[in-house]
Chain A
């Protein structure tokens, strides 16, 4: 009886303890929901860049003036669960001055974002796992960084139990599918019905892909399938499929990448994690915001979403910020005349020269030429002077006839296009609207007639040479035979001799049609330009593209544009890509201006010549005192300032503080 009392007493004590623990967690959660305590983000310590502080007070009390000018003191309060009255929070954190932004230097295309996640001791609980997710905002994108997990001791123990359960499940899963085959029965079956297969089992010297069948056409694979215990296999498969689900059920761990998963044993006070995230810079990246959100888990289930904190802002400073944005101009020579040309294949009926649009691709080809003509007539820069139409013929038929035919065809196309020009001009005039003079008479545009010059080449043997040479179908023997016959001076005899060759049908059907071409040359001149050439000054667009790429931190592109100029901005592009010797080579040849000296200081610092680096930095500061502050933004110079205590030296140059 007494033992029973002891047992009941112990049970009651345990229950009471559990209740107390549970109440403590709930109170803690209620306090967290009211915003006190909460995890915070602060800027991390960085050896190079001194923190740029901006006072931004986190107050627990607010001083506000009402409409009548009376001053009110508002205190942060929470609702008491028991009484419903508003009471002041139990503890009021001292107001902290925390910098919410920092300038960071971009180097070698990389940025190190350093910040600390501070989790107050009051926020930690043995039964909880706190999951903190830093969120990175850059150029309108949000990226969730690897989370930091703080796991309570009791939570971790429960998790371990889950692991054990999961392991037990894992041990019951068969990974070898052959374990489900009734090997004994299969062996007997094979011995009896497909003995050839069974013979291979003992003879490993010969491997064959041949499939064997029983006298009734059953293959070894079918036999294996038959002697597989399908129910066991399907149970095993179901277990396998549910493995992920079971993992989540039993283990309940975070499966993504984790930056830190630490188990807190006992009271450790505030937890501080110094988080450093290295990111690659990208064009136009000027600032990065980091916020912190999170979740609280108990027994594997989420019990609270920690709201997102206000952001920490990292402003990115780069050497490219020192780029010279001055516009650069170049002298350009503009030619008065311009040419455009195109070749087209217009088909004609045998021995005919009139245009038949329904033949072959003629409609499409002539449509294309008409389109080109239209765009040239409508061109604002150029005026069309003349068009040369050159027609060629294939070698089949008599030479004299081919000459005559190519000439007639060239003239026929010229006439056709001349008509088209009239149509095009009329439609262009209609598009620009009717114009009337002061007396109300319609003004007609007087277009200059564009002369067509018809030329004809006769048989186009040169192009045939080219086509034969490039052809893959003709054999080397065919080609050498062709070359031999090509030397026959009389064109008609030459074609007649070719016609006797075995490969002639191929020439006639495949290559000859490609010789019946019409070439168009359009000659133009610039409107309102009388001289043949003009020398003018225009913005150097290539250079300016390079400068733009440089300021947008697209350094590879910047260098590809700026490399030929080998000037100040080229040196910056080299520096941004860490090609310091190339940068120094250019800087040494430039005039000793303040920015040049400052860049030299950075380059020398990177190359390890601190003496020269300090000399050039001091020189730059002497020339322009704004570089005293700039030095703090570039780690190479900031390091020098710290090491050699240049602040004292520089104080005389520094501009007076406001």
Chain B
């Protein structure tokens, strides 16, 4: 949590102290739509074709439905750092990214189906690709899709939020879809 906060703070401060055009901050609407996942990413361009990025996702919320026992949640604490390749020019057009991602924990339930998945201490690498539209001098709209693969040290899959039936428990390697994004980017 501390690490996540550190990245978050750095992301807010660094753009104010350095030259314009090099820095970006962005947030993904689709994450917000996924039960209000707070998310942000900071980017800095280092050449015509490459930029570095760091970001995180945070969701502590529980949602109650008409059934007081059925809990709906998409909790997670995730942080990542990575690099993007821009074939034309940083912050415009197509891009490809590679990042290292740490998921401190996650816990999500199905919306229509009673099930719970939990994980802690997940490490992995993610690949993504997308396209960035320039909306104005300072705003971009970015669409992207990607996946990540790695390992959770602790993982559990239960048939109900109350963990009544255990389907799977223990250490788990995985390949998941990761970044389906539609982000608003501010370019300094």
Interface residues of A (CB under 8 A from B): 185, 188-189, 191-193, 214-218, 226
Contact A192 B88 (CB under 8 A): no
Main secondary structure of the interface of B (DSSP, over half): loop
The answer to whether residues A217 and B48 also contact, given A189-B92, A193-B21, A226-B88 and a CB cut-off of 8 A, is: yes
- Of the candidates B47, B134, B187, the one whose C-beta lies within 8 Å of that of A185 is B134
Can you list 26 A-B contacts with CB-CB less than 8 angstroms, sorted by A residue number? A185-B92, A185-B134, A188-B134, A188-B135, A188-B136, A188-B137, A189-B92, A189-B134, A191-B137, A192-B21, A192-B91, A192-B134, A192-B137, A192-B187, A193-B89, A214-B48, A214-B89, A215-B21, A216-B47, A216-B89, A216-B90, A217-B48, A218-B48, A218-B89, A226-B88, A226-B89
A214 cross-chain contacts in B, Cβ below 8 A: 48, 89
Q: How far is the CA of A215 from the CA of B136 in the complex (A)?
A: 19
Give the docked Cα–Cα distance between A214 and B136 (Å): 17
Cα of A189 to Cα of B137 in the assembled complex, Å: 8
Q: Which residues of B contact A215 (CB under 8 A)?
A: 21
Dominant SS at the A interface?
Answer: helix
B85-96 CB mask vs A (1 if < 8 Å, else 0) is 000111110000
Please measure, in the bound complex, the distance between the C-alpha atom of A218 and the C-alpha atom of B87, giving whole angstroms. 13
Question: For residue B48, which residues in chain A have a CB less than 8 angstroms away from its CB?
Answer: 214, 216-218
Contacts of B88 in A (CB 8 A): 226
For the complex, give the distance between the alpha carbons of A218 and B134 in Å. 17
| Chain A positions within 8 Å of B91 at CB level | 192
Chain B: interface residue total (CB-CB under 8 A): 13
Known: A185-B134, A193-B21, A218-B48. 12 other contacts (CB 8 A): A185-B92, A188-B134, A189-B89, A191-B137, A192-B21, A214-B48, A215-B21, A216-B48, A216-B89, A216-B90, A217-B48, A226-B88
| B30 CB to nearest chain A CB (Å) | 24
Q: How far is the CA of A214 from the CA of B134 in the complex (A)?
A: 17
In the complex formed, the residue of A with least CB distance to B45 is: A216
Distance from A193 Cβ to chain B, minimum over Cβ atoms (Å)? 7
Interchain CA distance A191-B134 in the complex, whole Å: 11
Q: How near does chain B come to A507, taking the closest CB pair, in angstroms? A: 64
Nearest Cβ distance between residue A217 and chain B, in whole angstroms?
7
Bound together, the chains give a CA A215 to CA B45 distance in angstroms of: 11
> In the assembly, what is the distance between CA of A193 and CA of B88, in Å?
13
How near does chain A come to B84, taking the closest CB pair, in angstroms?
15
Q: Which residue of A lies closest to B187 (CB)?
A: A192
A185: chain B residues within 8 A (beta carbon)? 92, 134
How far is B93's CA from A189's CA once the two chains are assembled, in angstroms?
A: 11
Chain A residues, Cβ within 8 Å of B89: 189, 193, 214, 216, 218, 226
Distance in angstroms between the alpha carbons of A584 and B89 in the assembled complex? 87
User: Mask for B27-71, Cβ within 8 A of A = 1, else 0?
Assistant: 000000000000000000001100000000000000000000000
Interface residues of B in 116-135 (CB under 8 A from A): 134-135
Quote the shortest CB–CB distance from A583 to chain B (angstroms).
81
- The smallest beta-carbon distance between A110 and chain B, in angstroms, is 67
Q: Which 8 A-B pairs have the closest CB atoms?
A: A216-B48, A188-B134, A191-B137, A192-B137, A226-B88, A185-B134, A216-B47, A188-B137
A622 to B90, CA, bound (A): 105
Cα distance A61–B146 in the bound complex, in angstroms? 96
Docked complex Cα distance between A214 and B48 (Å): 9
Which residue of B21, B89, B135, B136 has the most chain A CB atoms within 10 A of its CB atom? B89
* Nearest-CB residue, chain A, relative to B46: A216
- Which residues of B lie under 8 Å from residue A217 when comparing CB positions? 48
Residues from chain B with a CB closer than 8 A to the CB of A191 are 137
**Min CB distance, B22 to chain A, in Å?**
8
A218–B45 Cα distance when bound, in Å, is 15
Query: Complex: how many Å from CA A191 to CA B92?
Result: 13
Measured between beta carbons, the chain B residues less than 8 angstroms from A226 are 88-89
- Nearest residue (CB) in A for B19 is A215
Which of A185, A188, A214 has the most B CB atoms < 10 Å from its CB?
A: A188
Kindly state the separation between the CA atoms of A216 and B21 in the bound complex, as whole angstroms: 11
Min CB gap B68→A, angstroms: 51
CB distance from B58 to the nearest CB of A (A): 30
- B142, chain A: closest CB distance, angstroms: 14
A191 to B139, CA, bound (A): 12
* Residue of B47, B88, B137 with most chain A CB atoms under a 10 A cut-off: B137
Q: CA–CA, A216 to B187, complex, Å?
A: 16
Mask: chain B, 1-41; 1 = CB below 8 Å from A; 0 = not: 00000000000000000000100000000000000000000
Among A191, A192, A193: residue with most chain B CB under 10 A = A192
CA–CA, A193 and B136, complex, Å = 12
Residue of B nearest to A186 (CB): B134
How far is B48's CA from A216's CA once the two chains are assembled, in angstroms? 5
Alpha-carbon gap, A188 to B141, bound state (A): 13
Query: Which residues of chain A come closer than 8 Å to B90, judged between CB atoms?
Result: 216
A312 to B88 Cα, complex, angstroms: 73
Query: For the complex, what is the distance from the CA of A185 to the CA of B92, rounded to whole Å?
Result: 9
The CA-CA distance from A217 to B49 in the complex, in Å, is 12
